[in-house]
Structure formats: structure tokens, C-alpha cells
Structure 1
Amino acid sequence: MATEQSAQDGQIADPIAYFLQDMVYHGKTERTRDAYERVLREFETFLQTPDENPMGVEKSVAEATRRDCMAWIHALRGRAAESTVATYASYLHRFYAYMNQVGEFDANPMALVVEEMDERIDTNPTRRDISVEAMRTFVADVTHPLDRAIVVTLLKTGMRAGELCNLDLRDLSLSGLDHATRPQLDGKPDSMYVPPEPTVGESYNGEERSASNKRKRETVVPIDDELERTLKRWLAVRPDPISSAGPLFTTTRENWGRRVTPAIVHHVVTNHASDHGWHRQGGDAAENVTPHYFRHFFTTHLRDRTGDRGIVKYLRGDVAEDIIDTYTHNWGDRVREVYEANIYRFF
């Protein structure tokens, strides 16, 4: 990601880098920042190509007008889905609105453009309908111990990629493993604890984190026999962690022994999905299988199997006081029993 550059004569040399640096300070994830940078740099390239922009002259993002913005949005139409066009427009609108709000730009040229657009972001896109049988075939092709541990953990727990990255060994309770676990796991064998606290850029358990856990309340997630075997297989070959925090998932390629990042998790999933024909560059949420799709898969299939939205919401970490209280105090009798009776099997 670009970093903020020095200003000259009171003008920011690289407004996009300035905006992205502020996103870091606001705790936005690396993946979010990368998405913004791709879109903003594409718009910047458009402005720097006289044959494409309306005025036929090269200009900076700080000099862009409403017509420049309209022309870029129009150029996107026909080569991107309507929801993608709306998403790109929202990124550009957010950029200009923020820079105007902090006093770096005099106006937001995207304000009227987004008001007049017909395209809208699809907040609930239709996703691939992948059966358990098809996912079973997919999992069978993932043989690398780390990759399989990442994929099976996401599929069996419904947690977010960042939450997986933040797991430490102390968050895991498995029979036959001799290590210190959290007090929250006392009396809850074969389970993992997902905390709410880790925040990107802040120290947690003695290590600065590269991702935030977005759940507001703690969750104890059961581990079935398939996930148990997968995790034990991974732990048997896991590199010694560099961090004293004892990350559960560490890299085995570059940066040996370091905690995995959301970018690594995304790369693992999309690489295997691409090999399986489930992901392509430029594809949208309706087409591509990503770590977030696994959360959707978990939610859909477990909810349909149990008929119990409350337990699924609890496992996902969704905020609801009545749900959290009910299942926190009845974890052993209700959550584990329902989970083990209904969780899909891959092996």
C-alpha cells in the first residue's frame, strides 16, 4: 500500500496515499485499504490519460471535476456489473467526501454523480449455491496441512478471516494437547474461543495485530472430530512461532513462523477456488468463492439443518443480548449438542 508523501506549498503530493494512511489510523483492514487503492488508482490513471477524460488533458485527482467523475463512471458501464459500478462510485465518493471534510479538497465532485446514478450496490448478492457434496470434493483437493487447516476451520466455524488470523494456541482446547488454555475454555473440551478484542494495529497478547475481530461478544465454538483431526495434523508440522503470543496459524512459505494475515488467508482460499473453477479475477460476489463465502456457506447450511437461527447467530458472533445470554449459559447442553448433530461432514 502507498504511504503518505510530503506536502509541497501546502498541497498534498499524493492525496490517495494520504487518504489510505488515514484509513490505517481509523483501523480499516488491509484488504479494505487495498480495495480502495485499486479503485482510486484506476481513476487516477483515467485522469492521467488525455484520450479518455472529457477535457483531453492530464490532471490530478485534486483537479477532477464532476464531469471527469461522470465520464469515468460511464466508462465502467459495459465492462463491470451494475453493483460493481456502484461500489466503485461509492469508494470515489467516500474519498472525495473525506478529503473535503478534513479540509484538503474544496469540494466533492462525486456528490451529484452518486445522486443521479441508477446503479446501486447489491447488499445481498445472490451467491453460488454450493452443495455439501461439491464442497467435500473441493476440500479433498486441499492437501497442504496449513491450507487445509485454514479452509476447514473457516468452513466448520463460520468465523471471519481476520478472526482466524488472530487465534492463538491458548484459544484452542483439544484432547491430547498439553498447553495452557483460556479460563473461558474450562469445562469446554474440544472447542475454540473467539474473542472480541483484537484490533488491527494494536497490541493484543503481546503482539501487534494485522486484523480486527468484528464480533462484539466472545464466542466458544465447538470443534467436531473432523476439525480436530485437521488441526492436530497442522499442529504436528506447524513452524515454531516467532511471536510469544503463540499464533495458531503461522506461515510455512515466506516469513516462516509468522502469524498468517487476512491477505494470506484470502490468497489460500482463492487460489484453491480458482483451481476448482470457483474464482476468477474480476468476478463478483455472485461468482467468486472467497473466505467470506465460507461464512455464507456455514450460515446457510447449518441454519437449514438445525432450523435454529439463534445458535447460528451465536456461533457467528452476531450481537443479540438474548441470544448471547441464552447460549453462553447453556453452551454444553444446547450449543454443542445441536452443533455436533448437524454440522456437515467433509471426510
Structure 2
Amino acid sequence: MSTGGRSEDSAQDDPIGYFLEDMNLQGKSERTREEYRRVLRRFESFLHDPGRGPSGKVTGPSEASERDSMAFISELRQSADIADSTMATYAAYLHRFYAYMNEIGTFEANPMAFVTEELDERIDTDPIRREISISRMREFVAEITHPLDRALVVTLAKTGIRVGELCNLDLRDLKLSCTVPGFNLGDRSQLDGRPDSLYISSEPTAGECYNGEKRTASNGRERATVIPVDQELGKALITWLAIRPDAVSPADPLFVGTGSGWGERLTPEQVGRIVREHAERAGWYEPGAGMAENVTPHYFRHFFTTHLRDQIGDRGIVKHLRGDVADDIIDTYTHNWGDNVRETYERHIYSLFE
């Protein structure tokens, strides 16, 4: 294979360098490429040291076995400075590297496939948190009267998106089956034929320009995701749009300020303050308490995962909606989005309105 004048030899001689160069060609940010480079070179260093691997000899990424991969993860697990969630992220980087090298025909196997599956079963990337029932969450939502605040909370609770992804939403990322006068919603090809949906891109990066606006937050997923919008979320968003100020940015953010920063895109810090104010009134937030007790914007990702997974019983669909699934798994759900993901989501998503 040859890409941009590069030869097959360059992929064989330095597969990691080849992969990182392709990430650059794909438009991945410098920060993302540096994170991959650090992890992949660390794995390469592990393979080059015969005293650390199970084979007792020098090897390279193209010859690495499942035992090599498991030994590397085991070494990470014994490092005091690496948390379980970080270890899972490292494994995901390696999995994506091997999946890509397989796809272009340079490697013949993915030794991380089995290891990643095992980690998924054993590692919970969310720490232990306060458990809130669906009925109590309904009471919480019912007490929120401001259309913006309610739309923010319902969006977080019904989609499981990260606060940065919430703040980066533009009007073009929301498609509704009904017409909302004065708004041009869902103007994206990715939403064609997918009414009542949100498009969560993988591209926005803090400090970089995206859709004509410099962003203050990054999206955390490696693969863009289309998430269904059910009737309750649609109602909350339409109610918000009815009072939404005109946006300052030409990108037309979905969520903008209604107080200080009138019409400006909301930041994660502002959303955090809004959630904290309501959580304090509910007794769910206390200054100085940790993640196990306090309800923050990220808490709703835990709430979404826990309750929807219990309802559906299909971890794959929930992981797809969260944006956690690697390419070789996520394609199953992307290609069958209408018949599988939406139908399953709408049948099982919990109600938050009385």
C-alpha cells in the first residue's frame, strides 16, 4: 500500500510512526497524536526489552502476541501512578493502532482484541458514586423550572454525553422531526434520514477552531456518534429553543448564556455551576465532598450508563452511545442504527417527566 508517496516499507520499518503520520493526515489534533505516541512508544520499549516480556527476546509491534500484550498490561497494573481507567485508555489506544494496521494490511492480527475485551469486563472506569433512583431523578427534574437548566440536565441524563460534548453542540447537530420556527436544525449530512437525533462529533478540541469558532472544550470520543432524541428530550429542547437568545457565534451553539455572557456558548464551568446549584438544593452536593457523593455534570454519564444498561441488558449498545467502543465493534451498531440502536433505545430509555 502507498499513501501520499509513502511505501509499504515505511509501514513495516516503523509502524508506529506510520500510524501517527496517518493520524495527522486524518486531521487528529497534535494533543491526541502526542498521547498516542507516548503510549505506543512505551509499548514498543517494553517489547524491545527481553527482560520484561514473556518470550525473553526482543520483538516488535508486528510480532507481538496476546501474551506480550497481557504482560504489558500487567506491568501497567503494577505501576502505582497508573489508575485502572488510565490503563483501560492505554489498552484502547493499542487496540485502535492494531485495528488500523490490520485494516491497511500491514499486520495480520490484533493481539489487543482479547485483552481489551477482558479489561472491559473487569474495569469500571467510573468510580463508586451516589446511587440515585429513576423516581428520585424525576423529582429532581420536576423541580427545575428554567428551560435552559432543565434542557441541560435532561440532555446529560438521557444521552450520557460528556459536559464538553454538551457545550460543543451546535444547532446543526440537532435534528427534530418537527419544525421549530426560526431555527435551521440538523443541517448535517450525517443526520440525513435520522430525525430526532443528536450528532456528537469526535473533532472539537479545546483551543482549536471548529465550525468557525475557537472551542473551550474537547469532545472525548474517538468516533462520532448519533444518539436518539426521545419525546421527553425533544420537548425539553423545544421549550429551551423558544426562549434561547440569538447566538453571538456564527457556529450557532445549541446552548448559550441567558445571564452574563448573553448569547455566548456555555462553557463546562458554567454548566457545572448550574448543575451544582440544583444539586445543592437536592442535598446532592457538599463543598469538599468527593465524586462518590457530589452530583456534577459527569455524574449523569454514570446515571445513564447504570440505568440504561440495566434496562437493555446489551452492554454493546450502551458503549456505542457513550462513544466508548472501538471501530471494529462500533461498526455493528453504526450500520444498523435505525433498526437496532434507535429501536432498542426508545423501548428502554427511562422516563424523567412526571
TM range (shorter): 0.5 to 0.7
2:259 corresponds in structure 1 to 253
The alignment-based identity, stated in percent, is: 64
Matched, 1:340 2:346: yes
Work out the CA distance in 1 between the residues paired with 2:164 and 2:341.
Answer: 23
Contact 1:211 1:261 in 2 (8 A): yes
Q: Determine the C-alpha separation between the residues in 2 that align with 1:338 and 1:280.
A: 37
Distance 1:132 1:183 in 2: 35
Tell me if the contact between 1:198 and 1:212 (Cα under 8 Å) persists in the aligned partners: yes
Asked if 1:179 is matched to 2:176, the reply is: no
CA contact (8 A) 1:158 1:298 kept: yes
Partner of 1:280: helix, strand, or coil?
coil
Quote the Cα distance in structure 1 between the aligned partners of 2:194 and 2:279.
Answer: 34
State whether residues 242 and 257 of structure 1, in contact with CA within 8 Å, keep that contact through their aligned partners in structure 2. yes
2-structure distance, mates of 1:179, 1:124:
37
Q: 2:223 is paired with a residue of what secondary structure?
A: coil
In the alignment, structure 1 residue 228 sits paired with structure 2 residue 230 = no
How many angstroms apart in 1 are the aligned matches of 2:204 and 2:188? Answer: 15
Task: Determine if contact 2:205/2:217 at 8 Å carries over to the other structure.
Answer: yes
* Partner of residue 262, structure 1: 268
Instruction: Give the equivalent residue in structure 1 for 2:219.
Output: 213
Mapped partners of 2:212, 2:245: distance in 1: 19
Could you tell me how far 1:321 is from its partner in structure 2?
A: 1.9
Q: Which residue of 2 aligns with 1:296?
A: 302
1:123–1:307: structure 2 CA closer, same or farther, 3 Å change rule?
closer
Q: Is 1:147 matched with 2:149?
A: yes
Matched residue type, 1:146: L
- Looking at structure 1, the residues matched to 172 and 219 of structure 2 have their Cα atoms a distance apart, in angstroms, of 16
Counterpart of 1:21 in structure 2 is none
- Name 2:95's counterpart in structure 1: none
Distance 1:218 1:124, change over 3 A: closer
Which 5+ residue runs of structure 2 have no aligned equivalent? 1-29, 33-80, 83-123
Instruction: State how far apart, in whole Å, the 2-side matches of 1:332 and 1:123 are.
Output: 29
Structure 2 distance, partners of 1:242, 1:254, is 13
Q: 1:172-227 CA deviation, whole Å, 9 max, x = no partner?
A: 00122352510000000000100000000110000000100010001000000000
Aligned to 2:319: 313
* Distance (Å, rounded) in 1 between the aligned partners of 2:222 and 2:140: 32
Q: What is the aligned partner in structure 1 of residue 119 from structure 2?
A: none
Quote the residue 2:132 is aligned against: 130
**CA RMSD, aligned part only?**
1.8
Which residue does 1:156 correspond to in 2?
Answer: 158
List aligned pairs for 1:63-142, cutoff 5 A. Answer: 124-142=126-144
Shift in Å at residue 135 of structure 1?
0.5
Matched, 1:194 2:200: yes
Q: CA deviation at 1:236?
A: 0.6
Q: Is this contact kept in 2: 1:174–1:191, CA < 8 A?
A: yes
CA distance in 2: counterparts of 1:149 and 1:320, whole angstroms: 30
What is the Cα deviation at residue 313 of structure 1?
A: 0.4
Report if aligned partners of 1:313, 1:323 keep a CA contact under 8 Å in 2: no
Distance 2:125 2:219 in 1: 21
TM-score (normalised: structure 1): 0.64
- Give SS of 1:237's match: coil
Distance 1:324 1:26 in 2: 24
Give distance in 2, aligned partners of 1:133 and 1:339.
19
Q: For the residues of structure 2 that align with 1:342 and 1:142, how far apart are their CA atoms?
A: 24
Unaligned runs of 5+ in 1: 1-24, 28-85, 88-121
Q: Deviations over 1:296-338 (max 9, x none)?
A: 0000000010000000001001132233101110000000000
Counterpart for residue 289 of structure 2: 283
User: Match for residue 271 of structure 1?
Assistant: 277
- Structure 2 matches for 1:49-60, cutoff 5 A? none
Contact 1:215 1:319 in 2 (8 A): no
CA distance in 2, matches of 1:320, 1:125: 22
AA partner of residue 233 (structure 2): L
2:14 equivalent in structure 1: none
Assess if the C-alpha contact under 8 Å between 2:126 and 2:302 holds in 1: no
State the Cα distance separating 1:26 from its structure 2 match: 6.0
Kept in 1, the 8 Å contact 2:170–2:253? The answer is yes
Amino acid at match of 1:184: Q
Distance 1:124 1:219 in 2: 21
Count of matched residue positions in the alignment of Structure 1 and Structure 2 = 231
Q: Could you tell me how far apart the structure 2 residues matched to 1:254 and 1:236 are?
A: 19
Misfit runs of 4+, over 6 Å? none
